[in-house]
Homo-oligomer: A and B are copies of this chain.
Amino acid sequence: MRLGFRHIQLISPYHYRISLPPRRFSTTPMAASQVNKTAHAFDKSRLEALLNRRFFYAPAFEIYGGVAGLYDYGPPGSSLQANIIAEWRKHFIVEEHMLELDTTIMTPAAVFETSGHVARFADWMVKDSKTGDVLRADHLVGGVLEARLAGDKEARGLAAAPVAEDKKKKKKTAKAAAVKLEDDVVKEYESTLAQVVLLSCSRWIWATQPEIYLPYGPCPIRHLDNYTGPQLGELCRKYKIRNPDTDNEVGEPQQFNLMFTSSIGPTGQHPGYLRPETAQGHFLNFSRLLEFNNGRIPFASAQVGRSFRNEISPRAGLLRVREFTMAEIEHYVDPDDKSHVRFPEVRSQVLTLLDRNVQEAGSSRTTQMTVGEAVDKGIIANETLGYFIARISQYLVKIGINPARLRFRQHMGNEMAHYATDCWDAEIENATGWTECVGCADRAAYDLSVHTDRTGHPLVVRQALKEPIVTEKETAEWNKKLLGKTFKGDAGVLQKLVEGLPEAELVRLKGELAQGSAVVKSADGKEFQLTPELVTIERKVFKQSIREYTPNVIEPSFGLGRILYTLLEHSFWAREQDIERGVSLSSYLHTVWALIAGLQVLSLPPIVAPTKVLIVPLSAREEFAPIVQEVSNKLRRAGVFSRVDDSNTSIGKRYARNDELGTPFGITVDFASVQNRTMTLRERDTTDQRIGSIDDVIAAVTDLVLGNIDWEQACERLPAYDGVQAVE
Give A contacts to B, CB under 8 Å: 54-55, 58, 60-64, 67-68, 70-75, 77-79, 81-82, 89, 94, 97, 99-108, 110-111, 125, 132-134, 256, 260-267, 270, 272, 274, 281, 284-285, 287-289, 291-292, 294, 306, 308, 310, 312-313, 322-323, 325, 451, 454-455, 457, 459, 636, 639, 641, 643, 647
Contact = CB atoms under 8 A, between A and B. Distances in A.
A101 B73 contact: yes
Contact of A102 (B78, B264, B313, B455): B78
A169 B194 CA distance: 64
Contacts of A67: 106, 108, 264, 270, 272
A134 B292 contact: no
A63 B108 CA distance: 12
Given A105-B323, A265-B310, 16 more contacts: A58-B288, A60-B284, A61-B111, A62-B285, A64-B108, A64-B284, A73-B101, A74-B292, A104-B323, A106-B274, A260-B262, A260-B263, A264-B322, A265-B313, A266-B310, A294-B647
A255 to B, nearest CB: 10
A523 to B, nearest CB: 39
B261 A103 contact: no
B106 A322 contact: yes
A639 B637 CA distance: 13
B58 A72 contact: no
A285 to B, nearest CB: 6
A100 B72 contact: no
Contacts of A270: 67
Nearest to A644: B97
20 contacts: A55-B291, A55-B292, A58-B285, A61-B107, A72-B102, A72-B103, A73-B101, A73-B102, A75-B101, A78-B100, A82-B89, A105-B306, A105-B308, A106-B260, A106-B322, A125-B266, A260-B262, A261-B263, A264-B310, A265-B310
Contacts of A262: 260-262, 274
Given A58-B285, A102-B81, A111 B73 contact: no
A288 B74 contact: yes
A285 B294 CA distance: 47
| Chain multiplicity (copies) | 2
B63 A457 contact: yes
Given A62-B284, A74-B292, A75-B101, A267 B134 contact: yes
Contacts of A102: 72-73, 77-78, 81, 325
Contacts of A79: 100
Contacts of A256: 266
Contacts of A306: 105, 306
A410 to B, nearest CB: 32
A133 to B, nearest CB: 8
B292 A63 contact: no
A74 B101 contact: yes
A347 B639 CA distance: 28
Contact of A292 (B73, B75, B287, B451): B75
B104 A70 contact: yes
B104 A72 contact: yes
